């Protein structure tokens, strides 16, 4: 979902700035700069631009016969700590006698966009519900896996905003037709997996919380805060020129930049987006890049091991294929595997996959953003951001001229018995190549090679039990099998 910014927010950059912003498909001249696409985890969902030049569409001659999505929850109201910062800024403004002009002329009338704190803080916003509903509609149209009246099971971490995202996704996915009088058709089930407990370990959508060693590898706060300190003071000095009687400090700058994305998704107000210049947004974004890269991403040495069990579970199901009776477990999962979780649980999957971590731009510099880097928080952990893996079934593309026999529906090339299988990775829609495995249509990876690649990644990132220091915990597991063995006592929500 996109929001229309005012004329000031949709700043224009000359052609020379295109390299900095990695905007694909642009031409020389003027190009709009959208702060909401550089707001890290506060960005309302947007399709990430291609960083590899791969076409978004499924390659000709191919159909997707199986897909897996790991999805952050939709847009939400702020967490209690962030809301406290909003309240502090509001109090500072209201307790001062001052004059504001230019891009800050709205400050005397500004109020925090929360009017029912007990029921809104940390919960899904209307935009978040729409993002999830839209994803449901979009994936049903994209894949066509489910016939009319068919049911769908999805998996979710247990916090309410995540469960609500899963529920709204199902409402969108199952929104066609009328099945009100048929209680067993066109129904959705959410399998709620516990968060932050000591009996799920890797068998969860939040495996980092059950890995004791994980926090020791997190150096994100110091790096991100140091980088923020390098630019926020200069911003405060610049924007204070628009104020007489009120002084904005570095901490206020951080709160105001956070409010750009949050207010846009809560009530459509983009005035805080207008306050800052493109270079200041790129610095703001990079601080979040450091936070996620060194917090739960490739810069944390325990990240890959925590993301690998989920990657292996998906890979094993891709190797087996969608049309079968499961040879293991008690549940046959659908061809569309949906797991809903939190922002910090997506970067470990990136680490496990070994993508976005090119040696010439990684690890990320704590002081100097490299414009060629692939790891960008805005492209991954925006609200309702996701990592998707698709299994493609491909044959020779249709010839320019195709003959039709009356009463016979021609089979698509990818649906034929001799079709070859490939894997594609998407991050917020944008295709991402599997390192050193791009021989398939549209730079996809042959399924057999992908399985071998994932096995090597497992050796590289390490075993979950050993890496997390859980060897002496009798009930610890390094396997994610919840797609085929629904854990006992798991909450099941029916729609």
pLDDT > 80? residue 401:
yes
Give the per-residue pLDDT at 5.
38
Q: Quote the pLDDT of residue 483.
A: 96
Q: Give me the domain span that covers residue 115.
A: 80-123+221-287
Q: Of 471, 492, 479, which Cα lies nearest the Cα of 213?
A: 471
Query: Encoding tokens for residue 26?
Result: 């642009």
Please give the pLDDT value at position 93: 98
Cis peptide before 346 (omega within 30 of 0): no
436 Rama sector, left if φ>0, alpha if ψ -120 to 50, beta otherwise: left
278 and 146: one domain? no
Together in a domain, 71 and 47 = yes
pLDDT digits (tens, 9 = 90+) for 15-42: 333 333 333 333 334 568 999 999 999 9
| Residue at 1 is within a domain | no
Q: 27 in a domain, yes or no?
A: no
Q: Based on the domain organization, do 165 and 66 belong to the same domain? A: yes
Task: Looking at the structure, tell me whether residues 343 and 266 fall in a common domain.
Answer: no
Q: What is the reported pTM? A: 0.93
Residue 182, C-beta contacts closer than 8 angstroms, at least 6 positions apart: 149
- Do 387 and 427 share a domain, yes or no? yes
Residues 88 and 172 in one domain: no
The answer to whether residues 139 and 249 belong to one domain is no
pLDDT score of 197 more than 70 = yes
**Is pLDDT above 50 for 310?**
yes
pLDDT higher than threshold 60 for residue 490: yes
Q: Which residues, including other chains, have CB under 8 Å from residue 407's CB and lie 6 or more apart?
A: none
The share of the chain scoring above pLDDT 70, in percent, equals 94
CA–CA gap between residue 60 and residue 99 (Å, rounded): 60
Amino acid 489: pLDDT: 72
Q: Which among 260, 287, 314 is the end of a domain?
A: 287
Quick: pLDDT tens for 428-475: 999 999 999 999 999 999 999 999 999 999 999 999 999 999 999 999
The CATH number of residue 136's host domain is 3.40.50.1240
Which residue would you say has higher pLDDT here, 8 or 226?
226
The pLDDT confidence band at residue 260, using thresholds 50, 70 and 90, is very high
In a shared domain, residues 483 and 344: yes
d(CA 126, CA 266) in angstroms, rounded, equals 7
What SS3 class is residue 391? strand
Residue 2: inside a domain = no
Is the pLDDT assigned to residue 342 strictly greater than 70?
yes
Least Cα distance to 244 among 42, 360, 104 occurs for 104
The pLDDT assigned to 31 comes to 66
Residue 327: the pLDDT is 76
Residues 387 and 441 in one domain: yes
Average pLDDT, stretch 186-204? 90
**For residue range 200-229, what is the model confidence (pLDDT) as tens digits?**
999 999 999 999 999 999 999 999 999 999
361-376 per-position pLDDT tens digit: 889 999 999 999 999 9
CB neighbour list of residue 426: distance below 8 Å, 6 or more residues apart: 386, 387, 388, 389, 390, 432
Q: Are 143 and 58 in the same domain?
A: yes
Q: Is the pLDDT of residue 46 over 70?
A: yes
Average pLDDT over residues 353-359: 90
Point out the least confidently predicted range of 10-14, 58-62, 367-371, 432-436: 10-14
Q: Are 446 and 440 in contact (CB under 8 A)?
A: yes
Residue 13 has pLDDT above 70, yes or no: no
Residue 328 covered by a domain: yes
Listed residues 238, 264, 287: the one ending a domain: 287
- Which of 344, 280, 431 has the alpha carbon at shortest distance from 41? 344
Q: How many domains does the chain have?
A: 2
Give the pLDDT score at 296. 97
Average pLDDT for residues 257-282, to the nearest whole number?
98
Q: In this structure, is residue 461 part of a structural domain?
A: yes
Window from 41-50, 278-287, 312-321, 396-405 with minimum mean pLDDT: 396-405
pLDDT at position 356 is: 94
pLDDT of res. 344: 97
Same domain, 117 and 258: yes
138, 281: one domain:
no
d(C-alpha 391, C-alpha 387), whole Å: 14
Single out the residue in 232, 253, 287 at which a domain terminates.
287
The string of pLDDT tens digits covering residues 105-140 is 999 999 999 999 999 999 999 999 999 999 999 999
DSSP per-residue string spanning 328-361 = SSS----SEEEEEE-GGGSHHHHHHHT-S--TTT
Q: Establish if 98 belongs to a structural domain.
A: yes
pLDDT at 26: 37
Please give the mean pLDDT across all residues of the chain.
Answer: 91
What separation in angstroms does the CA of 259 have from each of 43, 44, 109, 160, 278?
10, 12, 15, 23, 16
Q: Please give the pLDDT value at position 412.
A: 84
């Amino acid at each position: 979902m996109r929001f229309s910014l005012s004329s000031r927010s949709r700043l224009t950059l000359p052609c020379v700035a295109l390299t900095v912003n990695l905007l694909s498909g642009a031409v020389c001249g003027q190009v709009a700069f959208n702060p909401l696409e550089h707001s890290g985890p506060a960005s309302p969902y947007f399709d990430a631009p291609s960083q590899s030049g791969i076409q978004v569409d499924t390659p000709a001659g191919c159909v997707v016969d199986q897909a897996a999505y790991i999805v952050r929850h939709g847009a939400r109201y702020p967490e209690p700590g962030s809301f406290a910062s909003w309240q502090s800024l509001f109090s500072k403004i209201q307790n001062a006698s001052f004059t504001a002009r230019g891009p800050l002329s709205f400050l005397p009338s500004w109020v925090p966009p929360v009017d029912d704190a007990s029921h809104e803080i940390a919960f899904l916003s209307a935009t978040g519900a729409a993002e999830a509903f839209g994803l449901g509609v979009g994936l049903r149209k994209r894949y066509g896996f489910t016939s009319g009246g068919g049911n769908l099971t999805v998996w979710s971490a247990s916090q309410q905003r995540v469960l609500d995202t899963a529920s709204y996704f199902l409402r969108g996915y199952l929104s066609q037709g009328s099945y009100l009088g048929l209680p067993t058709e066109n129904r959705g089930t959410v399998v709620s997996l516990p968060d932050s407990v000591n009996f799920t370990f890797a068998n969860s959508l939040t495996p980092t919380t059950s890995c004791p060693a994980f926090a020791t590898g997190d150096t994100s706060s110091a790096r991100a805060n140091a980088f923020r300190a390098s630019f926020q003071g200069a911003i405060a000095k610049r924007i204070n020129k628009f104020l007489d009687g009120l002084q904005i400090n570095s901490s206020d700058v951080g709160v105001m930049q956070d409010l750009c994305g949050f207010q846009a998704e809560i009530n459509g107000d983009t005035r805080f987006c207008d306050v800052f210049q493109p270079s200041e947004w790129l610095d703001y974004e990079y601080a979040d890049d450091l936070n996620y890269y060194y917090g739960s991403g490739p810069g944390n040495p325990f990240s890959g091991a925590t993301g690998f069990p989920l990657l292996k579970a998906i890979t094993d199901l891709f190797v087996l294929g969608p049309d079968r009776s499961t040879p293991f477990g008690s549940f046959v999962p659908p061809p569309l595997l949906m797991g809903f979780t939190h922002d910090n649980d997506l970067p470990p999957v990136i680490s496990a996959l070994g993508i976005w971590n090119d040696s010439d731009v990684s690890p990320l510099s704590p002081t100097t953003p490299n414009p060629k880097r692939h790891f960008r928080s805005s492209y991954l952990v925006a609200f309702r951001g996701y990592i998707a893996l698709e299994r493609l079934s491909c044959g020779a593309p249709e010839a320019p001229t195709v003959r039709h026999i009356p009463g016979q529906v021609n089979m698509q090339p990818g649906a034929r018995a001799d079709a070859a299988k490939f894997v594609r990775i998407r991050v917020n829609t944008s295709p991402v190549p599997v390192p050193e495995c791009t021989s398939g249509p549209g730079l996809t990876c042959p399924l057999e090679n992908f399985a071998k690649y994932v096995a090597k990644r497992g050796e590289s990132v390490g075993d979950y039990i050993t890496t997390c220091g859980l060897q002496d915990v009798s009930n610890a597991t390094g396997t994610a099998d919840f797609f085929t063995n629904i854990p006992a006592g798991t909450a099941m929500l029916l729609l």
